[in-house]
Amino acid sequence: MLIANLLPLLHRYSLGFDLVAGPDDTVTLTVIPRKIEGKAGIPEAGETRPISITASASEIDAELARGAEGALGQLITTRKTLADQIAEQREAAEAAKTASAEAAKASAAPARAASPSLSASPSPSALPAEAKSSEPKSLW
């Protein structure tokens, strides 16, 4: 039952387990998600945070028997959803970055093409055509 419940996590991470006996016949089960060797991308810190359940052995068994409806199943589903959202946001950010770079290149190209025509226009200090070079410039 445990492995079947953890399959969604196993698709994304390598998993480590820690079982510790506690007082009054309680058990703490800790599931530790880790990056899969050779898989691209670095998991977020929240994705690799350990999952701990502390209860009696029979309570943990009963909770695991509930499958996706149990606490562990719901937590795994939530983490998978969050990980998917993070991945989508990363993809959207990369797409926006690429689009922005392409837009900057596209707007720079027409500006470069238009710049030679701007240099052909008279400079602000040039005299008007009707003014004579021997006359002082007028502000009016």
State the greatest distance between any 2 C-alpha atoms of the chain, in Å, as a whole number: 108
Mean pLDDT of the chain: 77
For the whole model, what pTM was predicted?
A: 0.51
Query: Tens digit of pLDDT for each residue in 22-80?
Result: 988 899 989 888 877 777 667 667 777 888 889 998 988 888 777 777 777 777 777 77
The first and second tokens of residue 112, run together, are 């470069």
Rounded Cα gap, residues 8 and 77, in angstroms? 8
